[in-house]
A and B are shown apart, each in its own frame.
Chain A
Amino acid sequence: MKKLIVSPSPHVRSGITTQKIMLNVIIALCPAVIASGMIFGFRAIFLILVCVATSMVWETLFNMIAKKPNTISDLTAVVTGILLAFNLPPTLPFWMAAIGTFVAIVIVKCLFGGLGQNFANPAIVGRIVLMLSFTGAMTNWTLPLARQTSDAITGATPLVSQNAEYSDLFFGMTGGCLGETCALALIIGGIYLVIRRIISPITPLFFLLTVEVFSAIVGADPLYQILSGGLLLGAIFMATDYVTSPITMWGKVIFGIGCGIITCVIRFYASMAEGVSFSILIMNILTPYIDMITKAKPVGAVPAKKED
């Protein structure tokens, strides 16, 4: 008797894989990578490469020690590496960046069970840990190469100075983290992800809309608030991380609004200039609760009868 394979349906699967999704995110990040190289010079690109390489090394080492199959081929370590690098000032020493990727990959992701199990965005926690550990190095904002003069290499970020031109903010000709300054590159990446249906535009739109409304209410310049700081980077690439954001549409709406409110509260009322990373981290932690109250509605479900 000829042996046949017997398996449950369906007997066909779509071509999409986790790896392809992550590859698309990497492609979407490319404009911002190129922009950072053009704005801050070769060292910025090199810092990104260091972050990517160390992320992959940490994940490989962890999997070897934990005797697990190596998972770097899913490309999530590459994405985390690039995103963390985007949150660093271009001058940060490489060893500090390596500590950042260690925190992001090993402590936040692998120790919680690897991909899909982390409760917070690895790159965000990596950035916050570096921020608190090496505050000096992490706030050493170099100006774009084109704006450096013999007596001014560093300067305040636009959120502190509050006097940058819109065009400079849009094209990234300001001081700041290496991936966050160029709004144009980030928006191109975001549009690409939405068109390829990798991310839902709901979270970024509600995030940005909330910041705009909040800024308008307190009398700040809404457009300036949106274009400066890490808001676009956070809204497009960090708040849309599948693992740490709500899974349903209404959950994404709540998540976006929550991120927007917390960002504004920190920006306008706290002692820190920037609040995007903390807002996303706080909403990451709230995600399971948001999921709980925004369950999908089964079609035709009738309320359960009380059991006697």
Chain B
Amino acid sequence: MDLALNCIKISHRKNTENCETLVYPVPETVCIPMLQHMGSPCKPLVSVGDEVKVGQKIGDSEAFMSVPVHSSVSGKVIAAEDFLSAAGKVCKSITIECDGKQTVSEDVKPPVITDKASLIKAVRESGCCGLGGAGFPTHIKLNFDENKTPIDSLVINAAECEPYITSDYREMMENPEDVLNGIKIIQNILQIENVYVCIESNKPKAIELLTDMTSGDNSIKIKRLSSLYPQGAEKVIAYNATGRTIKEGELPSNQGIIVMNVSTVAFLNRYFKTGMPLIRRRLTIDGNAVKSPCNADVPVGTSIGELLRFAECDEDKVKKVLTGGLMMGMCIYDLSTPVIKTNNAVIALKNDVKKTQTNCIRCGRCINACPAGLMPTEFEKAYKQKDADRLKSLRVNLCMNCGSCSYVCPAKRNLAETNQLAKMFVSQSNQEKRNNI
């Protein structure tokens, strides 16, 4: 069952798997963007000159798809400016000069959770979004309609299939109680029958540790997945855990599944205990330009340039800096870019991938690599001809941008990039059609 979806082998480069998490010192200033999750940006609740404390809410929104933003330091707001995110979206950002005292806000107190409604409310107030990278607001994920499809499976995504990244692995090794207690709370309140903690086989110690700790509990199953990419993609892990296919246009909840990242559940447990919202996160600092790769627990808003200096990165040699993994990470254009909630790694590279493109030889490697069963080479041809109908019938919208097609292509064609362009082209042409009617 594990191998039913296409996947590829890539080298793991888990250099930091045995690096205990270092606590990053309080920086001099932090810059906290108002959009760190998937959805609508927050409106700032503080203005220049205001004093803020650790854990104080500094941004919120009335939009459905949004989570509040909190200050990660105590100090004084010195700027509130427009900010261009790596994803190309503009939002406000709050720059805070730290006073170094780290005074905790009086709002920080453990939430009282008795039922589903209070859980959802507390999760929203924690500022929690998916920590695996996509940043889907967690309270929306948990607030499913149980009358539609009953949720019977909670899939905990601990695959960590991207090269270099070990932050989820360190979470499991250092805070296994948080992981399991977080799971228990969500499982009990939402009354979910089965929990599958899915871990790739390249993390045998984590599998062993969690299996031992759950030996008396039949409702939590630790699943060993083969170390293949993209094992941690939501649809792939949901399929490999439960055997159910999430269909086009569906969320996992339509199939009775909730998929949560392992670091997200561990954070939620700490939040339920202490009431401290999501203001710090663990990330892996690695890459061939980094001299001492490590895992660090970093306040949100710390600049990536400072982080790289912390890991003894040779700044002159750095050509490319990524937030996230090698396969799906995004390039930042400026070293002063701040760390946000969804960053699970910062990777600094000395070289760019060589890209001498040659003609497609129709070898079919991209088709055999696509976990969604798509035909990337056909997308490329249809996109060149601007054929929106063909792109639609080939289901370009199902591409999850895992990058496997580009990775395996012997002609080094930028297939994943073209897929994204094609998706945008299709939605534009749909829009035009609607306007013409």
Contacts and interface: CB of A to CB of B under 8 A. Distances in A.
Nearest to B331: A6
10 contacts: A6-B333, A11-B349, A14-B10, A17-B412, A114-B359, A295-B375, A297-B373, A299-B245, A301-B398, A302-B249
Nearest to B367: A296
A21 interface: yes
Contacts of B420: 8
A304 B393 contact: yes
B400 to A, nearest CB: 10
Interface stretch (B30-38, B61-69, B119-127, B318-326): B318-326
B373 A9 contact: no
Counting chain B CB atoms within 10 Å of each CB, which of A6, A11, A113, A302 scores highest? A11
A242 B362 contact: yes
A299 B250 CA distance: 12
A122 to B, nearest CB: 13
B398 A7 contact: no
Interface stretch (B174-182, B196-204, B278-286, B403-411): B403-411
A63 to B, nearest CB: 13
Interface residues of B, number: 68
B372 interface: yes
B416 interface: yes
Interface of B: 5, 10, 163, 235, 239, 245-250, 315, 318-322, 326-335, 347, 349, 352-355, 358-365, 367, 370-375, 377-378, 392-395, 398, 401, 403, 406-412, 414, 416-417, 420
B319 A4 contact: yes
A4 B320 contact: yes
Given A4-B333, A301-B395, A13 B353 contact: yes
B373 A299 contact: yes
Counting chain B CB atoms within 10 Å of each CB, which of A1, A9, A10, A113 scores highest? A10
Given A4-B333, A10-B403, A296 B359 contact: no
B416 A300 contact: no
Contacts of A295: 375, 378, 394
B353 A12 contact: yes
Contacts of A168: none
Closest 3 CB pairs of A and B: A10-B403, A116-B359, A298-B395
Contacts of A74: 358
Contact of B334 (A4, A71, A115): A4
A300 B248 contact: yes
A236 to B, nearest CB: 16
A9 B235 contact: no
Contacts of A71: 358
Contacts of B352: 5, 7
A74 B360 CA distance: 12
A115 B349 contact: no
A50 to B, nearest CB: 26
Contact of A299 (B5, B322, B329, B367): B5
Contacts of A10: 326-328, 353, 403, 406-407, 416
A157 to B, nearest CB: 33
Nearest to B347: A11
B291 to A, nearest CB: 18
Interface in A288-307: 295-302, 304
A17 B320 contact: no
A297 B367 CA distance: 10
Contacts of B247: 300-302
A14 B326 CA distance: 12
B335 A12 contact: no
A67 interface: no
B246 A300 contact: yes
Contacts of B328: 9-10
A4 B321 contact: yes
Contact of A17 (B250, B347, B364, B410): B410
Interface of B is mostly: loop
Contacts of A304: 392-393
B227 to A, nearest CB: 16
A148 interface: no
A6 to B, nearest CB: 4
B321 A248 contact: no
B404 to A, nearest CB: 8
Contacts of A2: 315, 318, 335
A115 B333 CA distance: 36
B403 A9 contact: yes
A124 to B, nearest CB: 16
A247 B377 contact: yes
A76 B332 CA distance: 39
A135 interface: no
Nearest to A291: B378
A16 B366 CA distance: 13
Interface string A102-135: 0000000000011111000000000000000000
Nearest to B363: A242
Contact of B416 (A9, A116, A298): A9
B414 A8 contact: yes
A115 B358 contact: yes
A80 to B, nearest CB: 13
Interface in A237-258: 242-243, 247-248
A11 B235 contact: no
Interface string A4-45: 111111111110111011000000000000000000000000
Given A6-B331, A115-B358, A116-B359, A11 B353 contact: yes
Contacts of B5: 299
A116 B414 contact: no
B150 to A, nearest CB: 20
Given A2-B335, A116-B361, A247-B367, 14 more contacts: A2-B318, A4-B321, A11-B326, A13-B355, A14-B407, A18-B411, A21-B363, A115-B358, A115-B359, A116-B359, A247-B362, A296-B367, A298-B394, A300-B235
